[in-house]
Amino acid sequence: MADDLQNHGLLLPRGAVEPARPLIGRSGEVRSLMESVAGLASGTGRAVAVVGEPGIGKSSVLSEVVAQARAAGVAVCTLRGRSPSTSSPTGPPPASDVRDAALRAAEGTPLVVSVDDLHRVPTEELHHVEQLLRAASTGPVVCLLAYRQRQLSPTLAEILAHASSDGVLEVWNLPPLISEQARELLGEHPHADQVLGEANGNPSYLKVLGGVPEARAQAATAVLGELAGLDEDALAVVEAAAVLGEPFDAELMAAVADLDGPSTVRILDRLARLDLFRSCEPGPRLALRHRALGEVVHEWLDPGRRTALHRRAEAELARQAAPIVSRARHVARAADPNRPEDVTTLIAAARSVLYSSPSEAVGYLRAVLPLLREDQEHWHEAHVLLARAQLVAGDTSESRALLDSLRSAVSGPPAEVTELAMPSRAERRLGRLSEAGALARSALAGLADRDSATAAALHIELADHAYDVQDFETSRHHAETAAVLARRHHDRVGEAQALGQAALARLFTGDENTSQATAAADLVDAAPDTVLLTNLDALLQLGITEGVLGRLADAERHVARAATLARRTGQKHVEQNALTSLANAQARSGNLPGARATLDECARWDDRGGEPATRAISATLRAEVFWWLGGSDDPSAATEAAAAADLALSIASGSPANWAFTVRCFHAELVLHGGDPARARLLLLDAAGGDELPRLTTWRKPRWCDTLAEAAHATGDPASVEHWARLAERCLEELPSAGRRGFALRARMRACAARGDIGEALRSAQAAIADFSGSGERIELCRTLLAAVALSLDTGRLTDLAAWLDRAAYLAGQCGSARLADEVTRHRGRLTRLAATAPKGDATASLTAREREVAELVSTGMTNNEIAKKLFLSVRTVETHLGQIYRKLGVANRAGLTRALLAGAAHPAPPTDTA
């Protein structure tokens, strides 16, 4: 019998080995089955049914086990169910392979039987399947079955159900590949996320949609194999469905497939039973099982047949008055230069999806261009619209090149050549700021109607350009002009964008009136998504402005909405910027894991280009986030942070824009964190332009003054620490903005500590902590707490430091920062060691925080009046506190109080406010 099976190709000679093929995501199943194969020697068998969606990997699992079993020298019998349509219509039926395998299994010798496509085994042979299952339950037989549940006959379903309930058959439902496995199978792909989402973890669909030629060809062969045995009419229906590419009803299918209605219904029912079609909503509608199946069939069609089907589909959809986008899909595939209506259909469809699906609009317009000559009516319109669609879709270089070609090809005033704001916008996104400004100024100068929507767009461009080069008065002027024009033309979203830009420019010029930002938020929040899609930059601008204003929750809400809408519609130019802004808001509020996830999404843009500013800032944020996430036992985080900082620095190198200076400042700060304060100081001064930091805005200076003060304090330069603290305070006098005050107060803390005034230093620390608590910047809040703890420990002030550290530990946990948590642990160790050697019986331990404050000021020689002014108290209140202090310390006068403090007994109270 074994020889007969070998002659029929069902059994390889002992020792023959099939070449090994990688099988991603199924190693657990293969390993378990091979353990059963190894157990054949002991006389035990096993029956396993591997089920799941078509393409999920059932056949691959069986093939892998068969290959390994053969390599191990085990006898193998491989079978595949056959379609009844492949049987010869005349003559006797072919020999039953299942029968032969069942007989071989009954012999009692070790055997692996693999039956793929079990659902296609003829009904008259199913009793042999039962014999196989019995043999596996009683002897050394591993029986492997694979089938599609949707295509089981009632008889076979009953057999399998009984076998499963009797414990004879194990049924394994293969799950989809998880994301990591799917990515491994897909490899590098520019649209990996989209493919992963559409394939749903199905290996076959991943191969088809992934586009890798070898893998796609392999999967396509399997898909086309499903069509074997279909008659001509059934095949025509499958082809028509592939051409339609979306759900259809029987009437539409009959028209496209060129069949009568009753025949079409019968064929659709038959194909649904074969699981080629599935029902979908709204019913009664059908569609191919998956888009991947349609892609394979569509590609397989002869070109002439494909074109004819698309034309037939478009004609029927037009007759049914279907939406223009549904018709345009088919026109794009079968456009005819002799049909002017094809041009108008494609242009209209492109306009309708310009913001909801810009890449689709690009496809329609590229199909239009070959139909037009330069002297024809729609030639210029189509090219300009294509440039806009490319710009919205994020193909900035292509858009700019097309605009340049239009300007050189068409004579006449600029207003007649293109939409005037687009060239400037493209140049700015490419990082060419001077060119962007020049183009916008030239376009506005040549504009005939200064009271128009085009004028508003140009003013927005000029406002953005002026902001980029730090001319904030000019930026404010253009933004406010744009807001007036947009309001006049009832463009509420454009008005919101202009107001957001104006509010930002106001802030940087020292005007802290935030009413414009509030008005912009009201406009945006009232706008539906469909309206916002036409100008997602408005959401993004508002989020950036709110972030600068310290409204972190609002900023995160608006940029998250922008990112969601951009991702959904394919507006890539907004998506990358929105994700970067979202990561910034998350990092500032201390959501480090969330910021990392957002930045991981941003990182996928690196291979797809993007604006230099966005890429550099994204890399800078990545460096900062990884630094705080990593701890002392995670050197890889520091390495990742350094690599990201280097990347940001390389992108910013040579750029005169303010974002480039900020990137370089953050790089210097990372150097300081890494333990090189002298180099950090040099780098930061070089980035900021010198001792007065002239390249930085007044709003940004306090942060970097604090960083420079920290570096100067670390290198033992108290004069420089004082200089940076005073510069930060001068900035606050010009711009007392919430969120910046904390940095100036922390710089003052360092200056006081440098000159030995520890009490004043800790009071500044308390004020900084209160400010960071109010703005919600948890990382900075925790850093300030730890700086105050370190200062107290350095000077031997131990009282209540445990409470400070408890709060810092809580914040580190909230932020997910291992580095801050490590610092808390280190300070706890110092506190424990110092407390163990500290003198006991501290008489000042009973003093309240305010009493400690008053006592310390008394010890410096200040009068009650001076103390009252210093602490914003009444003289009577100071006298009351002083009486309590005398009583608690058991002293009679100021001299006794001073002696008690000199004994090291008095310590400032820790901050008690909460974040």
SS3 664: helix
pLDDT for res 129: 93
Question: Taking residues 547-560, what's their average pLDDT?
Answer: 92
Who has greater pLDDT, 183 or 316? 316
Residue of 786, 792, 806 whose CA lies nearest to 904: 792
pLDDT for res 22: 61
> What is the pLDDT confidence band of residue 360, given thresholds at 50, 70 and 90?
very high
DSSP string, 783-804: HHHHHHHHHHHHTT--TTHHHH
What's the Cα-to-Cα distance from 203 to each of 106, 193, 387, 511, 887, rounded to whole Å?
36, 15, 37, 58, 81
pLDDT of 9 higher than 80: no
> What is the pLDDT confidence band of residue 95, given thresholds at 50, 70 and 90?
very low
| Distance of alpha carbon 727 from alpha carbon 748, whole angstroms | 10
Write the single-letter amino acid at 805.
L
Residues whose CB is less than 8 angstroms from the CB of residue 552 and which lie 6 or more positions away in sequence, other chains included:
546, 585, 588, 589, 775, 776, 777
pLDDT for res 625: 95
How is residue 748 written in tokens? 């003052």
Who has greater pLDDT, 400 or 782? 782
pLDDT for res 83: 55
| Distance of alpha carbon 605 from alpha carbon 615, whole angstroms | 8
Question: pLDDT, tens digit, for every residue of 193-229?
Answer: 778 888 889 999 988 888 778 888 888 888 888 898 8
* Residue listed under structure tokens 């191919």: 288
pLDDT of 84 higher than 70: no
Residue of 461, 470, 412 whose CA lies nearest to 441: 461
Residues whose CB is less than 8 angstroms from the CB of residue 568 and which lie 6 or more positions away in sequence, other chains included:
none
Question: Taking residues 386-409, what's their average pLDDT?
Answer: 84
| Distance of alpha carbon 382 from alpha carbon 239, whole angstroms | 32
Asked if 85 contacts 50 with a C-beta cutoff of 8 angstroms, the reply is: no
Lowest-confidence range among 262-276, 408-422, 458-472? Answer: 408-422
| Distance of alpha carbon 20 from alpha carbon 22, whole angstroms | 7
pLDDT of 143 higher than 70: yes
| Distance of alpha carbon 98 from alpha carbon 81, whole angstroms | 9
pLDDT for res 220: 87
What's the Cα-to-Cα distance from 440 to each of 430, 463, 636, 722, rounded to whole Å?
15, 10, 46, 44
Question: pLDDT, tens digit, for every residue of 599-616?
Answer: 988 877 655 556 788 889
Question: pLDDT, tens digit, for every residue of 701-752?
Answer: 999 999 999 999 999 999 999 999 999 999 888 775 545 799 999 999 999 9
Phi–psi pair at 76, nearest 5 degrees: -130, 140
Asked if 98 contacts 133 with a C-beta cutoff of 8 angstroms, the reply is: no
Strand 141-147 to 111-116 pairing: parallel
Lowest-confidence range among 570-574, 596-600, 614-618, 797-801? Answer: 797-801
| Distance of alpha carbon 328 from alpha carbon 287, whole angstroms | 19
Helix (H) or strand (E) holding 506: helix 492-508
| Distance of alpha carbon 78 from alpha carbon 450, whole angstroms | 79
pLDDT for res 633: 76
Mean pLDDT is highest, among 196-205, 360-369, 400-409, 858-867, for: 360-369
Question: Taking residues 346-365, what's their average pLDDT?
Answer: 93
Residue of 82, 58, 79, 51 whose CA lies nearest to 161: 51
Question: pLDDT, tens digit, for every residue of 424-476?
Answer: 888 877 777 788 888 888 888 877 777 888 889 899 999 988 888 888 899 99
pLDDT for res 302: 93
> What is the pLDDT confidence band of residue 413, given thresholds at 50, 70 and 90?
very low
pLDDT for res 315: 93
SS3 147: strand
Asked if 328 contacts 346 with a C-beta cutoff of 8 angstroms, the reply is: yes
Question: Taking residues 583-591, what's their average pLDDT?
Answer: 93
pLDDT of 171 higher than 90: yes
pLDDT for res 606: 54
Asked if 780 contacts 772 with a C-beta cutoff of 8 angstroms, the reply is: yes
> What is the pLDDT confidence band of residue 19, given thresholds at 50, 70 and 90?
very low
Cα 572 versus chain centre, distance: 12
Question: pLDDT, tens digit, for every residue of 29-74?
Answer: 999 999 999 999 999 999 999 999 999 999 999 999 999 999 999 9
pLDDT, averaged across the chain = 86
Helix (H) or strand (E) holding 285: strand 285-288
- Terminal Cα distance for the chain, rounded: 81
pLDDT of 16 higher than 70: no
| Distance of alpha carbon 843 from alpha carbon 900, whole angstroms | 8
Lowest-confidence range among 246-250, 477-481, 664-668, 879-883? Answer: 879-883
pLDDT for res 8: 28
Helix (H) or strand (E) holding 114: strand 111-116
pLDDT for res 417: 39
DSSP string, 47-110: EEEEE-STTSSHHHHHHHHHHHHHHTT--EEEEE---GGGS-SSSSPPP-HHHHHHHHHTT-S-
pLDDT of 501 higher than 90: yes
How is residue 255 written in tokens? 């028209």
pLDDT for res 605: 61
Who has greater pLDDT, 3 or 312? 312
What's the Cα-to-Cα distance from 651 to each of 433, 655, 656, 682, rounded to whole Å?
15, 8, 12, 20
- Does a cis peptide bond (omega within 30 degrees of 0) precede residue 414? no
Asked if 506 contacts 515 with a C-beta cutoff of 8 angstroms, the reply is: no
Question: pLDDT, tens digit, for every residue of 833-855?
Answer: 887 776 655 566 667 778 888 88
Asked if 488 contacts 451 with a C-beta cutoff of 8 angstroms, the reply is: yes
pLDDT for res 30: 94
Q: What is the DSSP letter of 872?
A: T
| Distance of alpha carbon 787 from alpha carbon 798, whole angstroms | 14
pLDDT of 312 higher than 70: yes
pLDDT for res 218: 84
DSSP string, 722-789: HHHHHHHHHHHHH---TTTHHHHHHHHHHHHHHTT-HHHHHHHHHHHHHHHHHHT-HHHHHHHHHHHH
817 burial via Cβ count (<10 Å: 0-12, 13-18, 19+): buried
